Amino acid sequence: MNVDLGETIRTGRAIDLRDRGLDAPTVERAVRESDWITCQTPGEVHERVSPIRDGLSLAVRSAVAEAARTRGLSAPQDETIAAVRRELRTLDPPAADCEAARRRVAETGERESELSERVSELRGTIDALEGDDVDEAVEQREAAARRLSEVRTERIAAEQALAHARGQAREARDARDRRLRLEDREKNLRRAARDRLAAEVRDAFADAVETVPGEGTVESTTGDFDGDTVTAALAVVRIADVDAPVVLACDRFDSPSDAAAVLDAPVLRV
Amino acid sequence: MLLIVTYSRGARQTLRNVCSTHTSPVVRRFGRAALFNETELAAFLALRLREKHGDDVQIERTRPFNEFTAVPDDVRSAATAYENRDSPSTSYAKFAAGTEHPSPNALQDREL
């Protein structure tokens, strides 16, 4: 790898950048963007572990599984996972929204009951009136009754539209159901593949944990790692076939070249 | 009660969080669905879920079921008689044939 520092270019498998006052995220970004650092493109292992620094948050088993993949291993679930993902990409569940239809049912229903009340009121008024007043009230009542009949028709149409929309929503939800089942399936398969891959390199990982500096143990049957995440990350890098430089921001090695030798990977010390 | 059903992982997770945070409106939890009591708080929580996850959240209103008011006598007695039949392998259609129990088709066509 090459590190272009402007006035000077550093090359090699282990490069010390501690004299430049650069922080780990900055250097990591340069590795990923191939900016002023020229190197191989980082892979999944790199994504998970680098930069390695105290307090690193690491899903150990997943990282170990990714390391196994760099060694050319694959999981029996891989093909099914790919098929499930393909199907998920083709799924595009339609909308299942009935809000407009519900609102219309509510509004027409409300107007209907208002008008219905108005008609009853007018009917009561007519009984108490005499002469011309009666004619006027009758006219009003008839007008209200006509509007009521119109609104009732609208309400019935709105209810039918809602029933139709609900039917369509049910179909749309079938598609969403399918998508959720596939997503769950994919997750379970991925977990099974991860466990399988991690189990395949369990011994190598346990040896690596013993070899790299730091505290940690690997349970012999479950493969569970107990220790600090920096140790786990270093062991993952050691067992993985890593081409891109790992950014090291921890004091575990005598020198960057010592680190590169133990980790069997290019190293950038910050 | 309010029945809330979720249709995506995000919506399911939010429903779980809501159920753990607000226990009072929750009547029952099922994997990706829950029954809430009929309070404004329950409606508020349900509507928030839908606001956040759109069509991945379905909200329905359920009614208590009383078979003595909602279900005709012949349906109830048919259910009891069939579950107590002598031969477990008899289908309901065969069991009901020639008796006063309603046929499967009749049951299908009659709404509660």
Each residue's pLDDT tens digit, B35-74: 999 999 999 999 999 999 999 999 999 998 999 999 999 9
At A125-169, the pLDDT tens digits run 887 887 777 888 888 889 999 999 999 999 999 999 999 999 999
Chain B residues whose CB is inside 8 A of the A97 CB are 54-55
Percent of chain A with pLDDT over 90: 74
Compute and round to an integer the Cα radius of gyration of chain B: 20
- Residue A81 within a domain: no
- β partners of residue A227: A216
Q: Which of B12, B32, B55 sits opposite A97 (nearest CB)?
A: B55
Say what the pLDDT of residue A21 is. 86
- Closest chain A residue to the Cα of B60, Cα to Cα: A166
Please report the residues numbered 70 through 99 in chain B whose beta carbons come closer than 8 angstroms to any beta carbon of chain A. none
Looking at every residue in chain A, the average pLDDT score rounds to: 92
- Residue A236 within a domain: yes
CA-CA distance, A96 to A43, in Å (whole number)?
40
- Residue A188 within a domain: yes
Chain B residues whose CB is inside 8 A of the A93 CB are 55
pLDDT of A81 strictly over 80:
yes
Chain B residues whose CB is inside 8 A of the A173 CB are 7, 55, 58
C-alpha distances in Å from residue A19, one per residue of A32, A163, A209: 21, 72, 30
Say what the pLDDT of residue A35 is. 81
ipTM of the complex: 0.79
Say what the pLDDT of residue A159 is. 96
Please report the residues numbered 137 through 176 in chain A whose beta carbons come closer than 8 angstroms to any beta carbon of chain B. 169, 172-173, 176
Same domain, A93 and A187: yes
At B49-59, the pLDDT tens digits run 999 999 999 99
Same domain, A165 and A117: yes
Describe the strand order of the beta sheet including B2-6 as a list of residue ranges: B26-30, B33-36, B2-6, B57-61
pTM for this structure?
A: 0.75
Looking at every residue in chain B, the average pLDDT score rounds to: 95
Mean pLDDT for A200-219 is 93
Same domain, A206 and A187: no
Chain B residues whose CB is inside 8 A of the A179 CB are 7-8
Residues B9, A180: C-beta atoms closer than 8 Å: yes
CA-CA distance, A175 to A55, in Å (whole number)?
42
| Full residue range of the structural domain in which residue A8 is found | 2-73+201-269
- A-B contacts (CB, under 8 Å): 28
Same domain, A186 and A214: no
Residues A173, B8: C-beta atoms closer than 8 Å: no
- Among left, alpha and beta (phi > 0; psi -120 to 50; other), residue A227 is left
- Closest chain A residue to the Cα of B56, Cα to Cα: A176
- Residue A84 within a domain: no
Same domain, A133 and A210: no
| Domain end residue (candidates: A144, A159, A192) | A192
Say what the pLDDT of residue B103 is. 95
**Tally of structural domains, chain A:** 2
Confidence of residue A244 (pLDDT cuts 50, 70, 90): very high
Same domain, A212 and A230: yes
Compute and round to an integer the Cα radius of gyration of chain A: 35
Confidence of residue A206 (pLDDT cuts 50, 70, 90): very high
Q: Does B58 touch chain A (CB under 8 A)?
A: yes
Say what the pLDDT of residue A49 is. 94
CA-CA distance, A254 to A32, in Å (whole number)?
26
Q: Does A95 touch chain B (CB under 8 A)?
A: yes
pLDDT of A102 strictly over 90:
yes
CA-CA distance, A83 to A86, in Å (whole number)?
5
- Closest chain B residue to the Cα of A176, Cα to Cα: B7
Q: Which of B9, B12, B58 sits opposite A173 (nearest CB)?
A: B58
